[in-house]
Chains A and B, each alone.
Chain A
């Protein structure tokens, strides 16, 4: 709890059209437009946008941003900050803690005159072999996402979903299993989990997934043997697992596959009727976002009397926090939650 004579966080952490702005520190967190100074929580395109002058983030996030945007567009000047290291900017103490969302994802922790705010970015509490686990930072103000903030969203243990995928591969050994997944984070997490489950055969990738897998490997995440699906012979794809963007799995690109079983890995797959409407044959509930229980547990564990909700289903979360005596506020930040990762899957041809 904030000592009596410290300022309320809203007096120094401001909601602006460009996103959250730490006024005394002079920097934005995950700004939606190009700014002078930006602290970036993770590499997804709705949080990390091109064209900032100064960018501060973890080493991994900076590498991912550079790989996606090209040299020079991911901040004219880049500064890496290790989790646990602290910087002091105009009297604001700034440090990062792992958020568990994707490789390099971090919560942005700030303290000014004894008042502490944590901007979590996107996060999850489930284990992920490709991302350092979420760490709880007690604070006076916690800023959270709410992508899956409804009690119908409870993600099952991801290992059981991977086991379902492998059982299906065993049942249909003549068919290709194509898994729709986003190219940053989900793709590499699936590969790493398949390896943990003992799948050591080559995994085939859609062209859109190859570059970031290379970046992950350069950053020390081992993914095993990966092959391009685009050049493989149909014969070689029988019984294979192929990872591709959700938009490609049931359209023209997928014709090269052998009688594909179309799977999609996403938290949205939890609602089966919706999954069915999108033409998915094997829905896998694997998400890089906190589910309902994780959101509530996290908001409680950080002990903040006030929680701000950036994007998602804030009405349900704020209602549930209210029942627990926590004050909630919806920020309605525009532009967040647009990462294709957890946008509801439409297996329609995006190019058409």
Chain B
């Protein structure tokens, strides 16, 4: 019953907004299903395994052979989605009582069946399935599952199910392949840990805690080293005889989106750094890097206009030598020596920031107004490189946020626990011509009491509805905190905010006195004048 069971999992994952609920569904799948079904299902969900055996047009033809054209037209009009219309309208042939196929049978048959025979194969399977499983099969064979399960979420579920630390799973993850039989056997205690040998695998990153005022007093300046915290994305570069990979901070393989970085990885090492778009010496705004993210491939134009670089923070492995147990100071010396020796293209070493007291450092932090800098990192000179967020070894010390007073314009309900609350707010500022233009959207920063108050206010002051969105009376001013303002052609106001959140509700402030757009534009760094 594997395909119907997979269909049920798929449907619940698609409909479930909550992360914890998704994890529970995945845990149950790993526990209930045998090998290789559970691994194939996992690979299909994370889109490690995709098919293009059938195009939508082929599915359409298969169903046309069995359906009155008028009824098809009316049904498709009503449902609006081809795959779903086919799944729902499909009338199994009378007398079929073959069992539904296993997921593994489907995968194997798709790989070995000649293209001309695929339609008959699909029709035969569809006859054995109910509507939900038919939809799952059609989505699977046309390569369009899109369930929103990241490989990271899957690994967390594997960790919870097996009681093996997620960091350990991450270390082998990129060395195992669908259907992950060796991985499942290891996690269920039936086989030793799979040996990735020379395959380029991900090593979990060392992470920092935010530094609070209360923590600062306890720090002795001489124990600590400081670096700028660059506003890009944290990456791990791993290269050697077994291949090259660029991983995001969560362990996603993003190599395909950054071929110029891969090309520059002519070495045998594992490095930690910040991926940035750089033009000469200048770090471009985060929005530029965003253009390059989440792509399966890139165009020559992208490469030219948004060139990527890596600013290195650390070295984890040099050749065969694991440097992670060494203290930070020793690794730093190795990193600088390595960089001087190898001199890779598109990579520089993030400089240490010299300071003699934390007060002096605080002044440096406050003085750094470049949009490319989020703040400072503090790292203990004697700390080894350890996976995860171990308190007291690394701190992130973000600079104080910028603020703007903006007017609430639209509200939308949230998800999960917030599904009955209008908790997502779009806010705007006044343009010269007197029009209010939206500059951002925030989902956080308020207290539960403030949320309850805002929810009531939105319901009582709605002037317009656009589907799930309510437009409200101009009546509430937010003090919005954010990390940086950047120019954006995608927003009507021409500006976008980094990490906006509601700092407080300015009940004292009339809407006319909210900020003007010019005031926000003045906060944009590197603005062409």
Contacts and interface: CB of A to CB of B under 8 A. Distances in A.
B131 A270 contact: yes
Nearest to A261: B21
Contacts of B417: 259
A235 interface: no
A319 B68 CA distance: 10
Contact of B85 (A152, A154, A319): A152
B15 interface: yes
Contacts of B88: 151-154, 270-271
Given A171-B25, A273-B81, A151 B420 contact: no
A252 B135 CA distance: 34
Interface stretch (A41-49, A126-134, A182-190, A279-287): A279-287
A150 B68 CA distance: 12
Kindly name the residue among A273, A280, A349 whose own CB sees the greatest number of chain B CB atoms within 10 A: A273
A25 interface: no
Contact of A150 (B75, B91, B131, B135): B75
Chain A: number of interface residues, binned into ranges? 35 or more
Contact of A172 (B15, B24, B91, B420): B24
Interface string B178-189: 000000000000
A315 B16 CA distance: 35
Given A150-B75, A316-B74, A352-B459, A273 B15 contact: no
Nearest to A254: B420
Given A152-B89, A172-B21, A319 B71 contact: yes
A272 B420 contact: no
- The main secondary structure of chain B at its interface with chain A is helix
A319 B70 contact: yes
B11 A272 contact: yes
B349 to A, nearest CB: 48
A320 interface: yes
A254 B421 CA distance: 11
A273 B80 contact: yes
B25 A151 contact: no
Interface in B5-50: 8, 11-12, 14-18, 21, 24-25, 28
Interface string B129-147: 0110001000000000000
Contact of B459 (A280, A315, A349): A349
A152 B75 contact: yes
Contact of B84 (A172, A271, A349): A271
B8 to A, nearest CB: 7
A71 B84 CA distance: 48
Contacts of B67: 151
A338 B428 CA distance: 41
Contacts of B459: 349, 352
A251 B420 contact: yes
B386 interface: no
B3 to A, nearest CB: 16
Contacts of B135: 272
A271 B78 CA distance: 9
B378 to A, nearest CB: 38
A54 B131 CA distance: 46
B74 A150 contact: yes
Nearest to A322: B70
B79 interface: yes
Given A151-B89, A171-B28, A320 B75 contact: no
A4 interface: no
B304 to A, nearest CB: 40
B130 A156 contact: yes
Contacts of B80: 273
Interface residues of B, number: 35
B468 to A, nearest CB: 8
Contacts of A150: 71, 74-75, 78
Nearest to A323: B68
A282 B15 contact: yes
Contacts of A164: 8
A259 B418 CA distance: 10
Interface in A224-255: 250-252, 254-255
Interface in B70-111: 70-71, 74-75, 78-81, 84-85, 88-89, 91
Contacts of A272: 11, 14-15, 84, 135
Given A151-B67, A156-B130, A320-B71, A283 B15 contact: yes
Interface in B480-526: none
A75 to B, nearest CB: 38
A14 interface: no
A276 interface: yes
Interface string A329-352: 000000000000000000001001
A316 B88 CA distance: 15
A296 to B, nearest CB: 11
B118 to A, nearest CB: 24
Interface string A258-299: 010110000000111101100111110000000000000000
Nearest to B455: A252
Contacts of A152: 75, 78-79, 85, 88-89
Given A150-B75, A151-B71, A275 B420 contact: no
Interface in B416-448: 417, 419-420
B131 A156 contact: yes
Contacts of A313: 74, 78
Nearest to B83: A273
Contacts of A154: 88, 131
Contacts of B28: 171
Interface string A103-136: 0000000000000000000000000000000000
B10 to A, nearest CB: 11
A328 to B, nearest CB: 13
A320 B68 contact: yes
Contacts of A172: 21, 24
B420 A255 contact: yes
A276 B84 contact: no
A280 B71 contact: no
A254 B420 CA distance: 8
Contacts of A168: 12
Nearest to A168: B12
B74 A315 contact: yes
Contacts of B79: 152, 271, 273
Contacts of A281: 15-17, 21
A283 B70 CA distance: 28
Nearest to A351: B459
Contact of A276 (B15, B74, B85): B15
Contact of A316 (B24, B71, B84, B131): B71
Contacts of A319: 68, 70-71, 74
Given A150-B74, A171-B28, A271-B78, 13 more contacts: A151-B67, A152-B78, A152-B85, A171-B24, A251-B420, A252-B420, A259-B18, A259-B417, A261-B21, A271-B84, A282-B12, A319-B70, A352-B462
7 contacts: A151-B75, A153-B88, A171-B28, A273-B79, A281-B15, A319-B68, A352-B459
Interface of A: 150-154, 156, 164, 168, 171-172, 250-252, 254-255, 259, 261-262, 270-273, 275-276, 279-283, 313, 315-316, 319-320, 323, 349, 352
**5 nearest A-B residue pairs (beta carbon):** A152-B88, A152-B75, A316-B74, A151-B89, A251-B420
